[in-house]
């Protein structure tokens, strides 16, 4: 049975599928790291983290109305920025905040690698869908923070990373479903005309 996918369409579907799984994993891992970080740094859940600037915020009011391009660009931009911030968080943990905690640094490093892959994946998807990736010229994060502000920022980075990864999971799922729907409606007319031809051949014999 013909699936009706061209090679590029199939490649895109595979990539979408992989990106969805990765986004899902980053959401889960970032959420876990967020809680571990909060406990290690002794932060209260009641804190307002609004004072911490520059970190991309995942909250969006009309998510459903975004175009495919807007979705992918927002994700690509956010993951690139978060990758940058997470790198700084790791550096600050190593040098200042938890210098003895090698295991914690390893876990952060592993998460950092995943975020880098996710950022690349999203950029790749943009290109596959025929869009231009956002320019990565963001101002570098502030380095000279107080000890306490560094603590807060680290938590906020993990918080936003977790929700951005969730948002990306939803975005990619939506794109996957759209792609399935488009391909099945494309295939149907072809099948219909083929069966019509068959029926016509049959009916020909009855002199209709």
Residue 105 token pair: 């640094």
63 part of the interface to another protein, by CB under 8 A: yes
129 part of the interface to another protein, by CB under 8 A: no
With CB under 8 A as the contact rule, the residue among 32, 49, 107, 116 that binds another protein is 49
Least distance between another protein and beta carbon 205 (Å): 37
Cβ-contact 22, 117 below 8 angstroms: yes
Residue 150 token pair: 């560094």
Least distance between another protein and beta carbon 50 (Å): 7
Tell me the C-alpha distance between 34 and 158, whole Å: 5
With CB under 8 A as the contact rule, the residue among 15, 18, 24, 25 that binds another protein is 24
15 part of the interface to another protein, by CB under 8 A: no
Sign of the four-CA dihedral 159, 165, 171, 174: negative
Stretch that binds another protein, among 65-73, 107-115, 141-149, 159-167 (CB under 8 A): 159-167
Cα dihedral value 15, 20, 24, 29, nearest 10 = 20
44 part of the interface to another protein, by CB under 8 A: no
């Amino acid at each position: 049975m013909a699936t009706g996918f061209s090679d590029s369409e199939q490649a895109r579907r595979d990539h979408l599928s992989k990106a969805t799984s990765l986004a899902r994993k980053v959401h889960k891992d970032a959420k876990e790291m967020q809680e571990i970080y909060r406990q290690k740094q002794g932060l209260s859940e009641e804190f307002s983290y609004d004072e911490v600037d520059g970190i991309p915020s995942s909250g969006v009011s009309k998510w459903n109305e975004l175009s495919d391009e807007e979705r992918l660009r927002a994700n690509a931009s956010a993951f690139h920025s978060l990758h940058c911030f997470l790198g700084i968080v790791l550096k600050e943990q190593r040098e200042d905040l938890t210098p003895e905690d090698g295991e914690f640094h390893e876990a952060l490093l592993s998460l950092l690698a995943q975020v880098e892959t996710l950022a690349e994946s999203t950029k790749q998807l943009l290109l596959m869908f025929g869009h231009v990736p956002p320019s990565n010229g963001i101002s570098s994060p502030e380095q000279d923070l107080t000890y306490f502000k560094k603590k807060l920022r680290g938590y906020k980075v993990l918080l936003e990373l977790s929700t951005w990864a969730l948002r990306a999971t939803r975005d990619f799922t939506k794109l996957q479903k759209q792609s399935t729907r488009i391909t099945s409606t494309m295939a149907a007319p072809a099948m219909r005309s083929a069966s019509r031809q068959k029926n016509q051949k049959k009916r020909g014999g009855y002199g209709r």
